Amino acid sequence: MTYKRGATYWYKFRWTIKLQDGTRENYLIRKSAKTGSVKKAREVEEEHRRALRLGQIHPADPWPKQEPKAPEIPSLREFSKQFLAFVEVQKKPGTARFYQTGVKGMRPNSEIFPLEWVNVHLEGSQDAPQGFVHVTAGKTDSVVRNIPLTPRTREMLLARKQSGEKSRFVFPGPGTSGHLTTIQHAHERTIRDAGIKPFEFYCWRHTFGTRCAESGMDKFTLARLMGHSSPRVAERYYIHVTESHVMTGFERFLNYHSTKLADAVPKQTGRVQ
């Protein structure tokens, strides 16, 4: 409902949300569109309804949406203190002891965020037609390797390189490091805007390993590609074969079995009496 109060249009409507326990909460939304145009007021109302449908805001939140300030990224030491305090209260004593030991040996650097252009080779070669990325350091000696690029990845990297931004890092960012150190908020925002079930960003790595295995890649190549010290690591933690892949593999077995049975049947020779 759109109505005029003085020289300004307002809008009013009811909105219901369903809670996890199955109950519902009803809200009366009454906002000033801050315009003297009824058309613009209805556009403001529709945008408000759209944000509610997509789950971008709660009915009790202010509108227009107020973008929060980007939180300051804590230092590793400060994060460790906060994290250990959390697990001490929320987790079992054994789990808390595990993290209290493990956090001290954490390695904050990853293979992606500190990537430098000097290690990105976009020129093609016989072994890597789309170019490759050279990984120089990581958790173990096995991570030092060359990773071939896909055509899509090469296009993305080429576009970033030609953007004109002057930095030795592929993914520059604020702070003393000069490169990105987290994309948690951007990842969560993208999931929310897409309306899909939340998942950890690291799941992309698991998915990649699984897809490589489903394509028929041998485990030794996969281990080298993912920087594992042994193929057993990929088998244990990264390869999760899907049901459709299992069925495809079973169909290949049935075809093989049928061929073997056909070959085993003795062929008749001579003339029939």
Q: DSSP for 113-171? A: TT-BGGGEE-S--SS-TT-EEEE--SSSGGG-EEEEPPHHHHHHHHHHHTT----SBSS
Whether 132 and 149 have beta carbons less than 8 Å apart is answered as: yes
| Amino acid symbol at 62 | P
Give, in order, the Cα–Cα distances in Å from 220 to each of 181, 216, 229, 232: 31, 12, 10, 9
Distance of CA 61 to the CA centre of its chain: 27
pLDDT digits (tens, 9 = 90+) for 140-190: 667 788 888 888 889 989 998 888 788 999 889 887 888 888 878 888 888
Q: Please, which pLDDT band fits residue 30 given cuts at 50, 70 and 90?
A: very high
Mean pLDDT (the chain, rounded): 78
Whether 171 and 163 have beta carbons less than 8 Å apart is answered as: no
Strand-pair category, 24-32 with 120-121 = unpaired
Whether 263 and 257 have beta carbons less than 8 Å apart is answered as: no
Angle at CA of residue 143, ends 97 and 120, nearest 5°: 130
Instruction: Say how far apart CA 221 and CA 188 lie, in whole Å.
Output: 32
Q: What is the pTM of this model?
A: 0.47
Determine what percent of the chain is predicted with pLDDT higher than 90.
20
Q: Please, which pLDDT band fits residue 106 given cuts at 50, 70 and 90?
A: very low
Least confident piece of the model among 6-20, 77-91, 101-115, 242-256: 101-115
**Which residues, including other chains, have CB under 8 Å from residue 30's CB and lie 6 or more apart?**
10, 11, 12
Give mean pLDDT, residues 248-270: 67
Phi/psi at 26 (nearest 5 deg)? -105, 140
Give, in order, the Cα–Cα distances in Å from 89 to each of 74, 80, 96, 102: 21, 14, 8, 17
Q: Please, which pLDDT band fits residue 242 given cuts at 50, 70 and 90?
A: low
Strand-pair category, 8-18 with 145-148 = unpaired
Q: How many helices (H) and strands (E) does the chain have?
A: 9, 6
Give, in order, the Cα–Cα distances in Å from 186 to each of 53, 61, 244: 20, 21, 32
Give mean pLDDT, residues 186-207: 83
